Chains A and B, each alone.
Chain A
Amino acid sequence: MATLVQAIRMALHYGETHLGVKDIFGEDVGAPLGGVFTATQGLKNSWNSPLDERGIIGAAIGLGLAGDRCVAEIQFCDYIYNTIDMLKLGGMQSWASNGDWHLPMTVMTPVGSGIRGSIYHSHSFDATMTHIPGWKVVMPSNPLDAYGLMIACMKDPNPTMYLKPKALMRIRGTEQIPGEPPLTAEGERQLKEMIDAPLGDRSQWKARWPEGLTDYTVELGVGKTVREGDQVTVVSYGRTLPICAQAADALRQEGISVEVIDLRTLWPYDWNLVSESIRKTGRVLYVNEDTEVTNFGEHLIRRTIEDHFYHLEARPRLLAGAFIPGVGLADPLEMASTPQLGSITEAIREVAAERA
């Protein structure tokens, strides 16, 4: 019963032992810390870099161009903004060279609110990242997908951005990752003993990795319907996805049938899945926690209107983060800044009730 961050760690281990990942690096990524969220503990190819985000992305690009596959981490997406032109550069290597070069590389970075991270540890990055062509962008919402999406990223020959919803790092899945110990309390304890670094002196510690890990892959560009319904479609990803599912379960008691789609890959996104659902329900709500102006959900609304204007029975809606510079630290501020269970439930209720 791996947590989401343990799932990422196991996938990275699989990557360095089976997929040719030679470098897993970034600030505090190597020993002794193994990442501020422990995503890289115990990995043989992990190492610490200078505190230099532009250097990290530049190094990753160069490694990829040299043919060495890597996974680079930016410690928080709040600190990735000074690398924007490097991300743009990475995304254009194939296109600018008219296909002569391609760039296999993966960048991962924690995103979003939910841990009371204050102004500089709560940003989202999906709106900005989906604005940069040449990248594939993913965000998991559960451990199994976290594993499978990381495997997919490490296999892809293009730049991939792996957004880690930091509020979900410690959640446990209900679906077993192939090779992990059983989904029991005992299995949970076993896995912790095997791959979580101990507190204190870690100089002699080595991870004992589950032997049966596989290349279980969540194909990029393929979403997943996590709740089936026929009255309203809700499309989300990352932190807000399980909340949407929770809201859907509650609303079912009120007689509102909600279909919830986990996009999983933001680019290229699974429009067929979304489109089919909208055809069925005629109503759609997009939910994410990035700031609401020029939000990725706005793009999805555009496609909804262009492709489904005459299928709609209500206005397509977006519920997103407030358009403010950051997420305030105090509890009432954070809760009011990003979508929560109450606001999501209410938004779904409104979309369901709207009369055409």
Chain B
Amino acid sequence: MKEIISEGTRLRPKSAGAKFRLDPELLIKIHNNMVKTRVLEEREIRMYKQSDGYFWIGGPGEEAFSIPLGMLVKKGHGLDYDFLHLHYRSAGIMTCLGMEPIDALRQMKNTALDPFSGGRNFSNHFSKRAWNVVPVSSTIETQYLTAIGTGLAHKRHGGTGITIVNGGDAGTAEGDFASCLVWASRPGNELPMLIIVTNNQWGISTAAATQHGDKCIADRGKAFGIKTGVINGNDVEESFLALQDAMNYIRKERKPFLMEARVSRLYGHSSATGCNYIAEEEDCLTTFEAKLEAAQIMTRKEMDQVRETYNAEMLELSQRVKQEPLPDASTIYDHVYLGQKGRYW
């Protein structure tokens, strides 16, 4: 008789996960978060196309990497926990940290209840002090610099908290990326930083191959003595295990690791490039679901049900968000300085 594990009311054979190295329960959880994130972002895109938001930018296609990453973050406030310096393709990470989808939709619609920026910033420009998520900036590279500071603080503090910074391949053309490598690897002062490049081969409309002579961005870390890794970011299991290894190394050795994840960009750069589905790119969710089905971990019907559930939820949430008030114009001066209300103080 086969062993079975319980997952809610459903029973499934434990051996069904044999083609994966990860536990089936974990795989189902990852799948759930991937779908949740994908549907959330697709809802945001629909909102943009329905004029319920001025601009969309996000990261559909990176879920196979961002979900494992988010699930491995040591979440909390202060230096005992990880600090995150994210770019604007990080909805999957935030989903895993526990972000309420409606909050992302609020930012998409710029409502007063947007908890990340109060209606001031673009979609996917998250910020949450309670989780050490520093404000996301539209600049594509400055996060590699601010990460140095929390890296320094983490180094001094000790413990197992680390600094995590991510960005795209195009942003590595900026000097800030090189600065990050220099500061992270000062002899005797190496910093506990996970430096991530999600390489989708594009910088808005410009192909990386037309601008970058280097074939492997991660190789740049080798010149600084930084441990590096290049992974298929479209593969859930490879991503999870590689991230786990890298983060364990950083948490223990208190030294940097540079990881390049090759990922897809399923809806282009942003509103600026139309945000339509690009069928030529590998869809990591499709790939993952095929594997789950082949391994008999989930059925097609179950996976469809997950998606339908989230589709209905996100639709309902988006409708609710549309009814919320926009920020009051009188608040434009608020918080220029700590505690400031109104003009000057």
Contacts and interface: CB of A to CB of B under 8 A. Distances in A.
Nearest to B331: A98
Greatest chain B CB density within 10 A among A66, A96, A102 is at A66
A67 interface: yes
B166 to A, nearest CB: 15
Interface string A70-111: 000000000000000110010011111111111000000000
A58 B129 contact: no
A158 B120 contact: no
B48 interface: no
What interface size band does chain B fall in?
35 or more
Contacts of A102: 337-338
Contacts of B148: 55, 58-59, 62
Contact of B336 (A64, A95, A100, A101): A95
A219 interface: no
A268 interface: yes
A62 B139 contact: no
Contacts of B116: 97-98, 100
A100 B144 CA distance: 21
Contacts of B186: 50
A62 B153 contact: yes
Given A55-B179, A55-B182, A58-B179, A93 B149 contact: no
B55 interface: no
Interface in B131-156: 134-135, 137, 139, 142, 144-154, 156
B344 A96 contact: no
Interface of B: 78-79, 83, 85, 114-118, 120-121, 125, 127-129, 134-135, 137, 139, 142, 144-154, 156, 163, 175-176, 179-180, 182-183, 186, 334-339, 344-345
Interface of A: 22-23, 49-50, 52, 54-55, 57-68, 85-86, 89, 92-102, 133-134, 136, 157-158, 268
26 contacts: A49-B183, A50-B179, A50-B182, A52-B182, A55-B180, A58-B146, A58-B176, A58-B179, A59-B183, A61-B146, A61-B149, A62-B149, A65-B150, A66-B83, A66-B153, A68-B156, A89-B137, A93-B134, A93-B135, A96-B137, A97-B116, A98-B114, A99-B334, A99-B335, A133-B336, A268-B345
Given A98-B334, A99-B335, 7 more contacts: A59-B152, A62-B85, A65-B149, A65-B150, A85-B139, A89-B146, A98-B115
